[in-house]
Structure 1
Amino acid sequence: MKMIKELSILCGIEACAIISDENHHEAEVWPSPTEVVNVLSRFKNLSEHEQGKRMLDLESYLKQRIEKTQDQYHKLKMENKKKEMAGYIEKYMCTKEFNFGDAHLTNPNDFTDFINEQLKEVKQKLDSMDFQAQEDSIDFDDIDFDPNEFYLATP
């Protein structure tokens, strides 16, 4: 119940909770039975479409949590795979030895994809640095100044 109260306060929404189980004959309600009735009446006066947007049953909640957890799992799995490949490449660069048998990869082409991705990132960084260097460069031939004088430029 505390979480519902905090959610209601933090999000500035009207909320209510009705919790019942087989062991207790009386349901637990929040905030109060009268407020629950008021919130539920306002909810029932909404169109079905609006109700659907604002309603979450246990099954829907669990499905959302499972999907979110699966997404996190796949992201972490990809991160681990990239770290593993980076480790093998680093080992190769230091020892000039590479043993594919050590790699726990489902697809050997993953290395090719990983290396191509890394090369693409390096190229983008180099292009960005080159562009920045061109912006920062000054053509001193176009500037008329006396080499015998001291100049001080401040930003």
Structure 2
Amino acid sequence: MTEQPNPYASQPTSSYATWGDRAVATLWDAVYLWPVVVAFIVSGVLLGIGGGINSDQTTGAGTTLVILGSLGLAASYIWLFVRSIRNYVVIQGRTGQSWGKARKGLWVVNEQTGAVPGWGSCLGRMLLHSLINQAVYIDYLWPLWDKPKVQTLTDKILTTVVVKRA
């Protein structure tokens, strides 16, 4: 796979995205996942209601709701996985933008070449963000004190930067 040149790579350091821009893009990415959250909630409610009905042992309706809720939760987990991989790995790897970054006019690019990082780097980016943020949210906060490139710890490891459209 060939790397695509990025027209924003030669811009001055003032084109680096701010922490606020990155935070808003992350919130937009959360909106992209909102349908999955709704599916989780509906499935959980069905499971809870079915469990409550089953405690009475009066009807088979409780068992049906438990099965529907369980299947809904399983489907929601699969949907979350597919939608996250599509957004953060496939689309961002190909274009340099996740759904949220596209709304804010931000791009992830390779620090040295200015090219779109590719799906492998974006997969690493997603996994490293998850791993680092399991203990503390230091990766999301790191850009607050990183100057001038406003990088996360993950960006530093993978030599990527997030730039803003001029």
Task: State the TM-score bracket (shorter-chain normalisation).
Answer: under 0.3
Q: Tell which structure's C-alpha radius of gyration is larger.
A: 1
> Larger relative contact order (C-alpha < 8 A, sep ≥ 6)?
2
Scaled by the length of structure 1, what TM-score is found? 0.28
